[in-house]
Every structure is written in structure tokens, then in C-alpha cells.
Amino acid sequence: MVNNMELIRVYKALSNPTRVQILQWLKEPSKYFPEVYPDGVCVSDIQKKVQLSQSTVSQYLSTLQDVGLIESTRKGQWTYYKRNEVQIKEIKRCIMDHI
Amino acid sequence: MVNNMELIRVYKALSNPTRVQILQWLKEPSKYFPEVYPDGVCVSDIQKKVQLSQSTVSQYLSTLQDVGLIESTRKGQWTYYKRNEVQIKEIKRCIMDHI
DNA sequence: ATTGCATATCGAGATTTCTAAATATATAAT
DNA sequence: ATTATATATTTAGAAATCTCGATATGCAAT
């Protein structure tokens, strides 16, 4: 269950076009990124596409992760991100009741 | 059809707890407001409940209306607001595909 | 015409978000 | 040990949002 305040934070996370864009690219990662690993896509590949600084992209990914929309796996020096579809489904369900 | 940028504006509108609260109260106006008119609830009744200034509430309602979540009807010196359920349904549908 | 009431708009200070550069951390390769 | 690479964190200025008081607008009643 995603409560009221958590949903507000989800809306905040989604109220930035770049963050939403990333979330959408991650729906079909192989379509949008040069390499897709078992745990998702690495930060630098995402950064190349969004054309914002490395630190900004890293923070955006943290923001999306903080609200549960994506999840990360660290492997060596890389961090791979992918959508957390289970949580996204739950968030969607809650938004339906919320609005 | 609600496009990408319009949805971003919807998320922005929803990323404020008070605005979401108002939207939720308007689901069952007679439960939360002293008087409900055919076209909805007047600004001053909403203002009394949220305990923010009149100008803030007026702007919040404009914000919600701008993105289509509520609609207004002016009758004399009053403006009544109610949910735009048709548009909300459409927005929900688009959010489902969007996220 | 004037007064009073409901709402909208304007202007501004406080707070938050955006974004980058610089720095830190962690790992890999030499 | 040193160097290089990937990512995270810190710091800070610019831009946007929040919120209010003041003012404007529009309508109703006198």
C-alpha cells in the first residue's frame, strides 16, 4: 500500500519531463540504449541520452528510486537501473483510487 | 487525449497535498462541505476548510482547473467548483499508459 | 453612487527544485 | 601504489513554486 504522502512524492518525481522520459525509455531499454544488462541500464548510458550532467542524472535516478519507480543493482563500478514493475503496478493502482 | 506535457502539468498540480486534499473532498462534497450547489462548492467554503488564505485557495483552484481536474461555474458573485469526472477519467487512462 | 461581499489577480519574500561543477568514494587495471 | 573509470554526494546559484497581503473586479443591495 502506497499512502497519501508517498503518492505526493511520486507526483513530484513525475513532474519533471526528463525523469518521466527516463522512466519511459526503461519500458523498452533495448530499443533506446546501446547495451542492456540483466539488472538494467547503467547510469552513463542514460546520461548520454538525456544530455544533462552526470550529477543531475544520478540525482534524478535516486529520486525515481526513492519513490519506488525504479530499482538499482551495483555491480563493480557500475550501477544498473531498471523499472520496478511490481511497485509501479501498485502505485498505479493507488493513483486510480487517489485521484 | 492528454499529451505528455499536459500530464506533466497534471503531476505538478497533484504534487501539493492541499490541492490533492481539495480534489478528494470534492469526491463527496456533501460529506465535507456545509452546502453543495448544483455546480459544486463555492470558494469560500473550500477556503474555510483548508485554512489557507483566500488568494492561495483561489490560485490552487485555478491550477486544478487549468489541467482539467475540476471545472467552475460563475453564478453572480460566487464561483462553484466541482470535479470534472469525464476529464479525470481520461487523465487516469493516460496516466496508466504513461507511467 | 456607495457600500459590502465573493472571487481573481498582482507583487513579493520564503522555500523548494533544478542543474552543474567540484569533490568524494569505490572499483578495476596497471 | 598509481591511475583511470563509474557513480554518488556536496555546494551553490538560477529558476520555479508556495503563500500571503494588497489590490482589482464584478455583482448585489441599499
Give the pLDDT of residue B76: 94
Give the pLDDT of residue B57: 98
CA dist., res. B81 & res. B84, Å (int): 9
CA dist., res. A91 & res. A64, Å (int): 13
Q: Which amino acid is at A4?
A: N
- What pTM was estimated for this model as a whole? 0.95
CA dist., res. A11 & res. B32, Å (int): 25
CA dist., res. B65 & res. A94, Å (int): 22
The residue whose CA lies nearest the C1' of nucleotide D22 is B55
Tell me the count of A-B CB pairs closer than 8 A. Answer: 50
**Sorting pLDDT into bands at 50, 70 and 90, what band is A25?**
very high
Tens digit of each residue's pLDDT (9 = 90 or more) over A44-98: 999 999 999 999 999 999 999 999 999 999 999 999 999 999 999 999 999 999 9
Residue ranges of chain B whose pLDDT lies below 50? none
Of A15, A24, A91, the CB nearest to B15: A15
Shortest CA gap A99–chain B (Å) = 7
A53: CB within 7 A of chain C nucleic strand: yes
